[in-house]
Amino acid sequence: MSLADTLNLEVGQVVAEQTFALSRDTLVRYAGASGDFNPIHYRDDVAAQVGLPGVLAHGMLTMGVAVQPVVDWLDGRGWVSDYQVRFTRPVVVDPAAGAEVTVTATVGVIDDAGARIDLTAVYDGQTVLGKAQVRISAH
């Protein structure tokens, strides 16, 4: 049985949706865990100096968070064998209010190897990732 059969997938089906709250604390934690200490992710003065609208979430934090609904939904029944995104808009993280990112995961393609799950990630009413595609495969 193919992975798509096991998971009972249909193209267009929404398999997961989740909203994540990002705060400055989240950014600092991610900087430490990832080793990406670019100051645009924690210093307002540096962000302003290089012409950014504010302190930005690491693109890799958004990418890392956006795939989690797929991992949770899969629950070990398959694995993420390929994952790609384009960073199309920055996520500005307000020092007090933070930022909310809502992720929707939809079945894009089903084939013998497994399936492609397409993600949308929305912040402040606009998508922040383009061509966000997760390839899931059977073990």
Residues that bind other proteins (CB under 8 A): 20, 26, 29-30, 32-36, 38-40, 46, 49-51, 56, 58-61, 63-65, 67-68, 71-72, 75-76, 79-87, 90, 131, 134, 139
User: 97-134 burial, b if ≥16 CB within 10 A, otherwise e?
Assistant: ebbebebbbbbeebeebbbbbebbbbbeeeebbeebbb
Give the nearer residue to other proteins in terms of CB position, either 12 or 34. 34
Q: What is the residue-wise DSSP string for 53-78?
A: SS-B--HHHHHHHHTHHHHHHHTTSS
Q: How far is the CB of 119 from other proteins (least distance, A)?
A: 12
Give the nearer residue to other proteins in terms of CB position, either 12 or 35. 35
Q: How far is the CB of 29 from other proteins (least distance, A)?
A: 5
Q: How far is the CB of 110 from other proteins (least distance, A)?
A: 20
Q: How far is the CB of 28 from other proteins (least distance, A)?
A: 9
Mention every residue, 6+ apart, whose C-beta is less than 8 A from residue 45: none
Give the nearer residue to other proteins in terms of CB position, either 12 or 50. 50
CA gap 105, 44 in Å, rounded? 32
